[in-house]
Amino acid sequence: MPEPEAAPVIPPTVFRKGLLLHCGAEVVDRGTLSRVETPSCTESWFPLPHDFLLKEVESQLTAHGFGIGETTHALSHEGKRYFGVLQILRPDDGPGDYSWIVGIRNSHDKTFPASLVMGTRVFVCDNLAFNGEVKLSRKHTRFAVRDLRFMTSRAVGRLGEQFHREDERIAAYKKQRLTDKAAHDLLIRAVDCRAITPTVLPEVIRYWREPLHEEFRSRTVWSLFNAFTEQFKAVNPHVAAKRSQALHGLCDSVCGLIA
């Protein structure tokens, strides 16, 4: 298969920490990622090499005018599952307390198709949150490689609008005040929608009552949101991405962002 050109990126530094804390995943460099063996194709399954997928996403980001900053790559399940995080350089000054990111995931054990997800990373705590997953392949069918460039280009082409909507969402989270009673109600609803499990509820409550960072002492949806995402560091990145999307839906409803 043809090799897409990889975009120039800034070497990872502190940004590694956001994924290093996730259990079940090992942070690796590009060389290790490129050496992961891709399983042989079958009549109905055509797995995509992790590194090939990453290069295609980088190529399309560059083609659409996005600058790429720090990157982090994690493997789990003996290299069969890949999760990558790419920091997107903003064209403006932005809020200053978080950055845009793109998450990439891929599997060689048929657990999920290649996909792209947008999100944010909060600087003070390295908390990651994702939203809006887009599948880049049709469950690794025999046309996966042929269709990858088109599907990736289409997904990346929507990112600009999605990132600006995310800025508006976070601004609403920061503005929406929460009483302890309202926060406790949200915590229970978060269990109901599977944004968290009952076993970690006490930990999220502690982060809400005793914030780890001064920035989250204000009693807002944003502070509670980061109490949740602080706990997400303790789970596999694939699970964390799924839970953060459920959490977004819950917080959006509180802020009146969805009908």
Contact between residue 192 and residue 244 where contact means Cβ atoms under 8 Å apart: no
Q: What is the pLDDT of residues 38-73, one digit of tens each?
A: 999 887 788 899 999 999 999 999 999 999 999 999
Would you give the end-to-end CA distance of the chain in angstroms?
Answer: 45
Q: Look at residue 41 in the predicted model and tell me its pLDDT.
A: 85
The answer on pLDDT for 157 being more than 50 is yes
Q: Are strands 81-89 and 67-76 parallel, antiparallel or unpaired?
A: antiparallel
Mean pLDDT of 10-38: 68
Q: What is the pTM of this model?
A: 0.83
What is the phi/psi pair of residue 11, to 5°? -60, 145
Q: What is the pLDDT of residues 78-108, one digit of tens each?
A: 999 999 999 999 888 778 899 999 999 999 9
Residue of 190, 223, 13 lying closest to 97 (CA atoms): 223
Q: What is the pLDDT of residues 160-186, one digit of tens each?
A: 899 999 999 999 999 999 999 999 999
